[in-house]
Amino acid sequence: MQNAQIIYLQTIEGLLEENEVDKALDALLDLDKQTQAGIRQDIIMQSGNFKEANKMFQRGMISFEEFSRISARTRFGLLELMKEVPKRIQRDAKIRSLNTFQFQVPDEARLEKIIGPQSNLLKINWLEKALQASKAVCRVVCSDGELGTGFLTKEGYLFTNNHVIPSAEVAKDARIEFNYELDANGATKTRNAYRLDPNDFATSTPDQFDFSRIKIIDNPDSPLSQWGYVEFDPSAIPTVGEPVTIIQHPKGQDKQIALNANEVLGVWNQHVYYTTDTEPGSSGSPVFNKDWKVVAIHHAGKTDAEGGLQINARGDRRGANRGVLFEQIFQVLKNGGAPTTSSHSPSAGNESVKPAEPIPAPSQTPAVAPPTTANNATPKFVVVYDAQDTPHCETLKRHLFILKATKKIELYNVHEAQVGADIAGQAKAKIAEADYVLVLITPNLFNTETWFHLILEAMEGGKRIIPIFIEKLDIDGTGLEKLRALPTMNRTVSDFPNSDAAYADIVTEIKKLVPKA
């Protein structure tokens, strides 16, 4: 039917509007195959240009701005091509004496849509990666019978919770068991046990970072290498709504995985909060992101009936499980975290753990190393933004005025340079001296390569970048998506009832970076 043809074309237009270029290209090829509209060569040409540009962008060979231009050009070209489709179909139908009402909407998934705010489709090799990651997860058995979970690192260390193995003395008598799981037929696999070296032990108590790292004693007859190791990505801080997956030994039972209802609820200080299910015995489990990289270690949880956990600086409470971010744990280890002698806690999953003291950083701290500024030094901030977003910068400056006037912070924005000065050069010099770089995220920012390249250089140089989202924008592939941003709770300024409320939230977090008098 002609109505079906119109609906199909409108659906393809919708895909293009949503920047789903690949799906639109496939749908147009299906349309041409069914209608013989004669647009296949045009589609293939557009497809080739787009896919080549996408490949070059992913490899860093072209800029985000250039890729955006090519993507926009492709969408425009396809939309123009689609205007010719009805005419060509009708013309060819007359030539072949066919009735245009024979057009049928295909039953394929081209007209199907993603239901919900994000796609849950995954490549099938995601399951293979899950199985590979699971091999490095083990059961922890203490001499008093208490059970937990741990995982193996590339360097041959075990990570688990402090409240599972709190001291070198407990580590000496503990053992870990790999392959403690069932095969596809439900039969128990052969288990392999290893001892731990108490002389290579580092830890942090449950009220801080609740981890223990212990060297595993290898066994030549059953080498550790057969279990592989987990891969870390401490800078990939999960965002609210993102899924996290936990492989674990709940109640000390066979290895299990929590796949459903695994949404991140909040990130606050050293903790990430999520709905992923765990049970006693799951303490010390690795918390994986969607790419099967470890971002946190699970250690606690409370249900709504138990009062829940505070999940953000605003004081919101939710029934949630909680993990400790490796971004913070690796900083502790880097700074020479020393063993403690806390007593062994028999609780191992839904335990109540006292919140740690706040870390002097925003609740959405950028995922880079903290600055080396002395504790009593005035931190220097540089604001990077496009000139078209000057009103947003002025609003931010107004809210930061008291901090600046009382000399709690130094503030410079990249458009302050005098007339005739090298704006980009002066901005680069100021960024080199800065402790923090505030980046106002809008589409305008990516229309000028100068600012985007300055940000990339600052990131590569280890500068602490804090993105401030003025409005929703897809920044995947820029590197900025890995940083925690402001406002808090994964929101944008435009999400607030008014901009003052948004900037008040931002300034509250920035104040946490100011050294206390």
pLDDT tens digits, residue range 242-292?
Answer: 889 999 999 889 999 988 778 899 998 899 999 988 888 899 999 999 899
113: confidence class by pLDDT, cuts 50, 70, 90: low
Query: 354 and 399 share a domain?
Result: no
Cβ contact 296:323 at 8 Å = yes
pLDDT of residue 418: 63
DSSP secondary structure code for residue 472 in this structure: -
Query: 391 and 455 share a domain?
Result: yes
Residue where one domain finishes, among candidates 326, 359, 392:
359
| 12, part of any domain | yes
Report pLDDT digits (tens) over 52-62. Answer: 877 776 666 77
Cis peptide before 487 (omega within 30 of 0): yes
Cβ contact 463:398 at 8 Å = no
| Cα 390 to Cα 437: distance, rounded to the nearest angstrom | 16
H/E element, 500: helix 499-511
**Residue 188: pLDDT over 70:** yes
Query: 333 and 215 share a domain?
Result: yes
| Cα 21 to Cα 10: distance, rounded to the nearest angstrom | 14
| 320, part of any domain | yes
Query: 20 and 87 share a domain?
Result: yes
pLDDT of residue 3: 56
| 157, part of any domain | yes
| 280, part of any domain | yes
Tell me what percent of the chain is helix, strand and coil, each rounded to the nearest 5.
35, 20, 45
Query: 34 and 85 share a domain?
Result: yes
Report pLDDT digits (tens) over 287-331. Answer: 999 899 999 999 999 888 888 899 988 888 888 999 999 999 998
Residue where one domain finishes, among candidates 57, 82, 111:
111
- Which of 98-107, 399-408, 488-497 has the lowest average pLDDT? 98-107
Count of the separate structural domains present in the chain: 3
Residue where one domain finishes, among candidates 292, 324, 359:
359
| Cα 218 to Cα 292: distance, rounded to the nearest angstrom | 25
Average pLDDT along the chain: 81
| 516, part of any domain | no
Nearest CA to 348 out of 275, 299, 288, 296 is that of: 299
Query: 147 and 287 share a domain?
Result: yes
Query: 10 and 148 share a domain?
Result: no
| 368, part of any domain | no
Write down the residue that tokens 């079906």 correspond to: 4
Cβ contact 282:246 at 8 Å = yes
CATH of the domain at 236: 2.40.10.120
pLDDT of residue 186: 87
Q: Which residue range forms the structural domain that includes residue 320?
A: 125-359
- Which of 235-244, 249-258, 339-348, 412-421 has the lowest average pLDDT? 339-348
Query: 64 and 142 share a domain?
Result: no
Query: 312 and 254 share a domain?
Result: yes
| 317, part of any domain | yes
97: confidence class by pLDDT, cuts 50, 70, 90: very low
Helix 2-17 vs helix 21-35: angle between axes, to the nearest 10 degrees? 160
Nearest CA to 363 out of 501, 489, 199, 187 is that of: 489
CATH of the domain at 405: 3.40.50.10140
| 517, part of any domain | no
Query: 411 and 344 share a domain?
Result: no
pLDDT of residue 470: 93
Report pLDDT digits (tens) over 347-369. Answer: 333 333 334 333 333 333 333 33
DSSP secondary structure code for residue 250 in this structure: G
For 108, the 3-state DSSP assignment is coil
Query: 403 and 451 share a domain?
Result: yes
pLDDT of residue 466: 92
Query: 208 and 325 share a domain?
Result: yes
